[in-house]
Structure 1
Amino acid sequence: MTTPTFRMATPADVARCYQIEISAYEGDEAATEAKIATRIAQYPQGFLTMELDGEVIGFINSGCAHDVVMSDEEFKELIGHDADAPNVLIMSVVIDPAHQGKGYASLMMRTFIERMKDMGKQTIHLMCKERHVDLYRRYGYQYVRPSASDHGGMAWHEMVMTL
């Protein structure tokens, strides 16, 4: 098996990341191509891509805030983002469906966590569906509460990791 490599996203990755996003997320849950482009342009340090044989097969993107409000829809466009803030908010964790089930998401999450530690961040926050709560607990996240967000018309759960 080829070992994946990791790097910050660049504007050239927008179309491929959008393709992965819409293939892996349901309906309105997926970010638009414009939101992905904004996230890459405004905070590439928080947009980690995973490549296999030169092709992006997954990514995690995020923003940073001083005050975390996970249900803030504007933040998904990085409104209120501050690269120097200590709290990381993950917006997408996604692997191309053709590469799921091979342990890549775990490797990507561990790499992302280490990079955020190296950047001096204090916490990582995310929202997930109920079926993923135990998965994120295994990475070291703690359950916070059901989220006020109904993003994509779905029920979400807020989780946090202290670095």
Structure 2
Amino acid sequence: MILRNVRPTDLEQLMIIEQEGFSPEEAATKEAMTERIQFIGDTFLVAEQDNIILGYINGPIIHKPYITDDLFEKIQKNPQSGGYQSILGLAVSKSARNQGVAKVLLHKMDELVQKNEREGITLTCKKELVPFYEKCGFRNHGVSDSAHGGVTWYNMVKLREA
């Protein structure tokens, strides 16, 4: 398995994985995914094996510790340093689940946080995924203000190690 930055030619495979991992209300649109590829390719990573994408992780740098719903609609290019690395999408194809792909992607994003001196990583997840993220070093900061997709989300934050 190799990790690399996203390419525009990955879009079709990414959309299949996105739709496998999220409900229609939660899933990013093709337009939103295209915008993420275009604007935040430096924090949009894919795990690939034999030219097949196994999973991906992406999100813009934000200046607040929690994700807000507007991020799912419009994003901007990342600043060089500082801020929080948000995770808007972390998904693994059905055929590659339970093989550690998500943990590898999170670890690589953590390396980018250290390298670029970000405050930490912030994401939202459903209740059933809270234990997974806690095992990966995140702290549960409670129910999020986000109502994205009509779901109850939990704020999960992992601060950068000093």
TM over 0.5: yes
How big is the shift at 1:78?
Answer: 3.9
How big is the shift at 1:127?
Answer: 0.1
Q: Distance in 2 between matches of 1:103 and 1:13?
A: 21
How big is the shift at 1:69?
Answer: 4.3
Q: Distance in 2 between matches of 1:33 and 1:80?
A: 17
Q: TM-score scaled to structure 1, two decimals?
A: 0.90
Q: TM-score scaled to structure 2, two decimals?
A: 0.91
Residue 15 (structure 1) aligns with? 12
- From 46, 55, 59, the equivalent of 1:58 is 55
How big is the shift at 1:82?
Answer: 4.0
Residue 31 (structure 2) aligns with? 34
Change (3 A) 1:69 1:141: closer
Q: Distance in 2 between matches of 1:69 and 1:34?
A: 24
Aligned-pair Cα RMSD in Å? 1.5
Q: Distance in 2 between matches of 1:91 and 1:54?
A: 24
Q: Distance in 1 between matches of 2:32 and 2:147?
A: 18
Q: Residue 65 of structure 1 contacts residue 81 of structure 1 at CA under 8 Å; is this kept in 2?
A: no
Give unpaired runs (5+ residues) of structure 1.
none
Q: Residue 75 of structure 1 contacts residue 81 of structure 1 at CA under 8 Å; is this kept in 2?
A: no
Q: Aligned letter for 2:73?
A: E
- From 77, 83, 88, the equivalent of 2:79 is 83
Q: Residue 134 of structure 2 contacts residue 140 of structure 2 at CA under 8 Å; is this kept in 1?
A: yes
Task: Give aligned-pair identity as a percent.
Answer: 25
How big is the shift at 1:102?
Answer: 1.4
How big is the shift at 1:115?
Answer: 2.2
